[in-house]
A and B are shown apart, each in its own frame.
Chain A
């Protein structure tokens, strides 16, 4: 499985993502700089966490309009499996590939801690190795993770099984406790928590690992 990690100025989980992908798939991902217009054909694209462009204007707003994102949007919309974590999720909503927006945490504080999630849909490309309803412990580290969408969009996400992960505690005020969602086609996942930081016991836990094994098992 060939993968690419997109690197923006201010990304800070790009290397964690690369380590997780290499440990699980055995193949080093290509690191792609935000100013590039094109990159090698890959089976999987990851948008990492961080504070790209210093969160100027809105989190993810600048990155979503960077050179490389024109190509990422084209490929993701064409079906290439794409994962956005934390800032990557914000970038995906800013491009319109995923609905809704990530707003300032309801409590206004930066939240940095391990949180419990439930796997709401285990029948996705990204969650197939989990059990439906499985509880997992994964860290969050964000100031703007408060998921917002209008009621119709939220109902649609729920009805179509597109809520992949839900917080089992109040973390940031997200509507309906949403921690991660997929697009209608199911090839794009955005989530605020960081599974790439929980891939082996030395990191404090390995509950995030199955997200990467799910992708690998599907893509080979």
Chain B
């Protein structure tokens, strides 16, 4: 089973890299971008075949390492 994890900055946390991306898009002539936020994407290949067990395990991985929940949110997709 594959787990796809998105880690994003929480609302209200300043994202200077996202700001720089937003400005760069503007400089390239792309209008209509109100805001850009940068995050991380992590893919895991899991041995586990049970969805619930896999979700619980990945959730713990996120809390313990993959995300810093002081500043980041995470979402998990399994396939």
Contact = CB atoms under 8 A, between A and B. Distances in A.
A108 B20 contact: yes
Interface size class of A (residues with CB under 8 A): 10 to 19
Contacts of B56: none
A108 B16 contact: yes
B14 A108 contact: no
A57 interface: yes
Contact of B17 (A99, A100, A108): A108
Interface of A is mostly: loop
Contact of A149 (B40, B64, B65, B70): B70
A76 interface: no
Interface string B50-65: 0000000000000011
A93 B70 contact: yes
Given A108-B17, A148-B14, A173-B16, A101 B70 contact: yes
Interface of B: 13-14, 16-17, 20, 40, 64-66, 68, 70-71
Interface of A: 57-58, 61, 65, 93-94, 99-101, 103-108, 146, 148-149, 173
